[in-house]
Structure 1
Amino acid sequence: MKKTLTVLSLALLAVTAAQAQEKVLNLYSARHYQTDERLYENFTQQTGIKINRIEGKEDELMERLRNEGANSPADVFITVDATRLAVADSYGLFAPVKSKLLESRIPAHLHTDTWFAFSTRARVIIYNRSAVKAEDVATYASLADPKLKGKVCSRSGAHPYNLSLVASLIAHDGEAKTEEWAKGVVANFARAPKGGDTDQIKSVAAGECGVAVSNTYYLARLIRSDKVEDRRLMERVGIVWPNQANRGTHINISGAGMVKTAKNPEAAVKFLEYLASDEAQRYFADGNNEWPVVTGVATNNPALEAMGKFKADNLPIGNLARNVAAAQKLLDRAGYR
């Protein structure tokens, strides 16, 4: 009996040791793209680090991290939109990351000390080719021009995509001027804000409204769609890169940071560094219609190529967080619901 217990004890110790040696990364992800599966598989193949992934909505995952505190198993939190990453940072969820590789590959305006952008999307103006001229919507400011009265469609002003855009306008133009702009946009609404970016694209194509704003990610997806009706829809929609004569088009990002209480910090840094590799950067572009943040990475995405090159706004992405609260308040005052 004693010998049997000894054998069982040794076996238990062996299992425990094996588990302790297993390389893992616990990832909390608010990116809901099936194409990301390839990213995770390639990382595991290259490093031997297994990814345990929990997916959820951004706010739910952030609240979960806050509630779990030091007991959280999460090593990395990844999501879309600079506003959401900034909120997570304001909650103290991220730890500073020191990585020469990340600092050398990701432009300074696309990261902070605690989180990094790994792909970008531009927020462009779209218009109905039969109802609006491209030269009449050359800037974000033009959306408030009275000549567009009854022609502007939008998603909710409370959505992070719009909050990030308005936060950037505050950074460039000041709060008072941006509020006047917001009031002008509201006066031009064709209908009350509703739906997502794809809904705005379809409304513009159908002539329900003449102009709207959209993230390029959604446009590229329709351009590349296997459905003939999606591609025909895009034939009726024109795309304008706003503010090309001055600061450039507002961009938003997808990014990630290492959780402050990470139990596998080395694996976390390796994963962040992997996302900045040429392979991962190409996959963000070719697989999910996002632009790489690393300069010089060759991509092969016909939809992105069809939209052409553009001048991007180089406003430091971390600065947006300072203006998000002000952006929401002025949108509320302007009636931009």
Structure 2
Amino acid sequence: MPTIRNLMAVTALATASFIPAQGALADGEVNIYSYRQPDLIKPLLDEFTKRTGVQTNVLFLDKGLVERIQAEGANSPADVILTVDISRVMEAKDGGVTQPVTENETINKDIPAHFRDPAGEWFGLTTRGRVVYASKERVSQDDITYEELADPQWKGKICMRDAQHSYNIGLIASMIAAHGEEHTEEWLTGLKNNLARKPSGGDRDQAKAIFAGECDIAIGNTYYVGLMQTNEKEPEQKDWAAAIKVLFPNSGDRGTHVNISAMALAKNAPNKDNAIKLMEFLASGDAQKIYAEQVFEYPVMPGAEPSDIVKAFGEIKADTLPLADIAANRKKASELVDKVGVNEGPEG
């Protein structure tokens, strides 16, 4: 009878066979369903096991995590859910596959209120800025605002990935929270008109496009810069990273929009005590440092230092708007993308 440990060999498959609960109830284990790649969280989990003796089992799914837990129902072996952005952790909460962790002083003291769910159903662990990649050769300015991306001076000079991607939906939702729906629609229209081409690819592809001279600026996450700078398997990505500088939008006012990696306690966690131990560890300063260094992100704990590579991007002033408020505007953001036709690219 397969257990979650047996299924680690097929973690890339969201359609892996059912994991019966009996295999998840062994003493000293905790089962993690993760949207984050296993190799990125392995150092973190290894340290947890070293400190506690609790073994960790990881099932990675690049899609369908919530649907899987829903299908498993009360027999789900999932204890802890790890996600890579606010949209996905909200999908877990809205999908009814999480449960609250309330009045936990250990977790709450290390994670600021605006990085956790008011009801205790999710907690942010690290943040990444949704920033502007700018050509070192063709862009002289070192500061920018999101609002400026709609300025005609950038006509034909901006690249971005699919506007419906959760990273961009989060940014657009933050604009709605800051300026309202009508203003954000006008801004999106201006941004669309400034695009060099139809949105496509991932964030790294936008840096590649700047390197190739296809555009001068692009929207991307900070951590991809670190991943490109250290990519030994595909060294051409180092050239893409070397061609850009990171601009932190709105540093002079409300701050740069940030998204999170997050954790949540699964609704039917069979190893609940060990799950809480893991969550407390993940919230700790030591764990946040390991995690942030591994994924080139920022710890959410106030005063905690990012890695030297991340520091080299420049100083970030993060928008303190509660992520729950951003999440509440996701649907409106998605509707505006379609209404404006951002993914159709520039007119003419």
Q: Tell me the TM-score normalised to structure 1 length.
A: 0.89
Which of residues 105, 114, 134 in structure 2 aligns to 1:109?
Answer: 114
Check conservation: 2:188, 2:342, Cα contact below 8 A: yes
Check conservation: 2:173, 2:329, Cα contact below 8 A: yes
Indicate the residue corresponding to 2:46 in structure 1. Answer: 41
3-state SS in 1 of match to 2:171: helix
Indicate the residue corresponding to 2:79 in structure 1. Answer: 75
Say which is worse superposed, 274-283 or 176-185, in terms of deviation.
274-283
Check conservation: 1:224, 1:303, Cα contact below 8 A: no
Give the 5 Å matches for 1:164-203: 164-203=170-209
| 2:237 matches 1:207 | no
Indicate the residue corresponding to 1:129 in structure 2. Answer: 136
Check conservation: 1:31, 1:80, Cα contact below 8 A: yes
Distance 2:328 2:38 in 1: 29
Check conservation: 1:118, 1:276, Cα contact below 8 A: yes
Indicate the residue corresponding to 1:119 in structure 2. Answer: 126
Check conservation: 1:134, 1:238, Cα contact below 8 A: no
Cα deviation digits, residues 96-117 of structure 1 (max 9, x gap): 1021111111001000111000
Which of residues 280, 293, 301 in structure 2 aligns to 1:286?
Answer: 293
| 2:318 matches 1:318 | no
Distance 2:57 2:37 in 1: 15
| 2:329 matches 1:306 | no
Indicate the residue corresponding to 2:276 in structure 1. Answer: 269
The offset of 1:166, in angstroms, is 0.5
Structure 2 runs not aligned, ≥5 long: 1-23, 344-348
Distance 1:154 1:248 in 2: 21
Q: Tell me the TM-score normalised to structure 2 length.
A: 0.87
Distance 2:38 2:180 in 1: 36
| 2:147 matches 1:141 | yes
Structure with greater proportional helix content: 1
| 2:254 matches 1:247 | yes
Indicate the residue corresponding to 1:233 in structure 2. Answer: 240
CA change 1:21–1:213 in 2 (3 A) is closer
The offset of 1:163, in angstroms, is 0.5
2:136 is aligned with what amino acid?
Answer: R
Indicate the residue corresponding to 1:28 in structure 2. Answer: 33
Structure 1 runs not aligned, ≥5 long: 1-18
Distance 1:230 1:194 in 2: 17
Say which is worse superposed, 137-146 or 114-123, in terms of deviation.
137-146
| Identity value in percent | 40
Indicate the residue corresponding to 1:15 in structure 2. Answer: none
| 2:64 matches 1:60 | yes
Distance 1:21 1:313 in 2: 43
